[in-house]
Every structure is written in C-alpha cells, then in structure tokens.
Structure 1
C-alpha cells in the first residue's frame, strides 16, 4: 500500500484494512493488491495514457498480466488500484464542502476497483448488472454505506 501524494498518508492504514476485508468477503486468499493514492494531476495523466480521457478520475484498476511468468510464491499479485481520494465523498465531507454529494465514498471505490481486478466490468449492460449486484452484496456484508 503506497501513498504517492503525501497528503493522503492518513488514509494508508484504513485503505489497506478495507482491501483485506474486501478480499475476505470475496473469499480470495493468498492474493496481493497494490493500492496507490494519487491526486487529480497524477490521475489525469494515467487516465489520458491508459484510457484516452483527458480528465481526472476516481479509481483505475490494472490487472497483473496473465501471461507474466511468476516465481513460485505463496501470495499472488493480482494487480494495482490507483485511487484518487480527492474525487471521493469522504474527502469533501471532511472539509465541510457541499461537493461530497457529487462523489462516491472511498470504500465503494475500493470495492469497485477490486472487482475489476477479478474480471468484473460495467461496459456491457449485463456485465454492469452483475458488477453492481456484487458491489451491493460486498457493501452489505461489510456494512459499507455510500
């Protein structure tokens, strides 16, 4: 778990604990996910490079390449999640800003990002329904409100 932007240091431990809880809810063991906390500028750069969209975003997930040759290890790297706390309701609520209603919570964004690493997507309508159901189930199980 890394925080590229120092202003997000206080989020490191809670984010790490939430990802572990999400993996447990999915019954995924021996899996490692890297989470990097970035601000708007860095996320805009990544979004432009990898999605062709010249704007910041709240969360990006990059699955570890399947064809990559891994050494024999007990824990398998699943991928990376880049999270932008500045585009979360939690960030704005703590600053007493009305913008919080415009954004989703960090916990939801983590659930969403983790599900992408396990093959869930929301591009096609039927896939979106499956992903939303799984998000709802995990959020209910972990008592996450959004």
Structure 2
C-alpha cells in the first residue's frame, strides 16, 4: 500500500454537541483519511462529537476517570468465537471503530495551548484514528513512535507538530 494513496473512507459523523464553530464534515473526512493513508486501504468509521456531559459519562464508564477527555477511541473487534469467514470485500471487514471527541475540551485545550482550533481538531482525529489502528503511547518508545507518526501526518496536512513547544503571543510557553 502506498503512503500517497488516500484511503477509501466511509465516515459517519454524528454531531451531538451544541458547540459552535465545529469544523465541516469534509475536514473530518480529510483528517481521518490522512491518518489511514498507507496503513489501511478502506475503513468505516464513526466520529461522534459530544459536549462535556456525555464526554464525562463515557470517560467515567469506560476508563473509570472523572471529567471529559478530548478523544476516546473504541476499536471494532469481532468476537473471537465468531468466525464469519469474511471475504475481504465484505463491508464488515472495513469496520475500524468509533471515536468520541468532546468539543468543549478540544476548544478549551486549543485556547490553553495557544493552538488554532483547526489544528487541534485535526490532531484529535489523527490521534484517535491511530489508536484505532493499534498505535498507543503506554511506553516511552511507543509514545515517541506515535508522536512521530502524528507529526508527519499533521505536517502533510499543513499543521505544525502538536508536540513541539509553542509560544503564545504573550511570550508564555505552551505545550
């Protein structure tokens, strides 16, 4: 598979947020496809944009942590005892999983980190899709690998690396 070849993406974008100034659907498709390029030829993915209340409930229910987080990823895994003998052309073989992105948190973090909202939204989509593709940051080496991949994808999309120090206009450092 070529890294230059865009993935075929079936994206279900669910907007369950009252936040204003959300990026358009085409941006979510572009960001997710960029994360998939060279890693998967086809994928079906759901991205659900939520407010803090739903984000906090999901974070508590699935991770045991209080408060909303920026992005949660829920990979699709067929139960091991279910042998469907899937043909690679079967649409169920394309199911990647679901991302839940909390709009309130993304917008707040962008302000706090002196990043454009667009860049931070792109980062959350790329980060979440990479988690669905089994990237993680549990160890230092895994984190370094994932951060390098994210920075490369975001750079190709025209965004700065989210992991480089950024300086706000008031001269305070933000990471």
TM class, shorter-chain normalised? 0.7 to 0.9
Higher gyration radius (CA)? 2
**Runs of 4+ more than 4 Å apart:** 68-72
Aligned length: 140
- Offset at residue 66 of structure 1 (A): 3.8
Q: Does the Cα contact within 8 Å between 2:52 and 2:102 map onto a contact in 1?
A: yes
Quick check: which one's helix share is greater?
1
Corresponding residue number in structure 1 for 2:71: 59
Quick check: which one's strand share is greater?
2
1:108 equivalent in alignment to 2:123: yes
Task: Note closer, same or farther for the CA distance 1:58–1:10 as it changes in structure 2 (3 Å cut).
Answer: closer
- Offset at residue 127 of structure 1 (A): 1.0
Q: Which runs of 5+ in 2 are unaligned?
A: 1-12, 163-175
- Over aligned residues, Cα RMSD in angstroms? 2.8
Q: Deviations over 1:6-35 (max 9, x none)?
A: 4468535122332223323x4422211110
Q: Which runs of 5+ in 1 are unaligned?
A: none
Length-normalised TM-score, structure 1: 0.80
Q: Deviations over 1:97-116 (max 9, x none)?
A: 95453897110111100000
Task: Note closer, same or farther for the CA distance 1:92–1:144 as it changes in structure 2 (3 Å cut).
Answer: same
Q: Does the Cα contact within 8 Å between 1:3 and 1:36 map onto a contact in 2?
A: yes
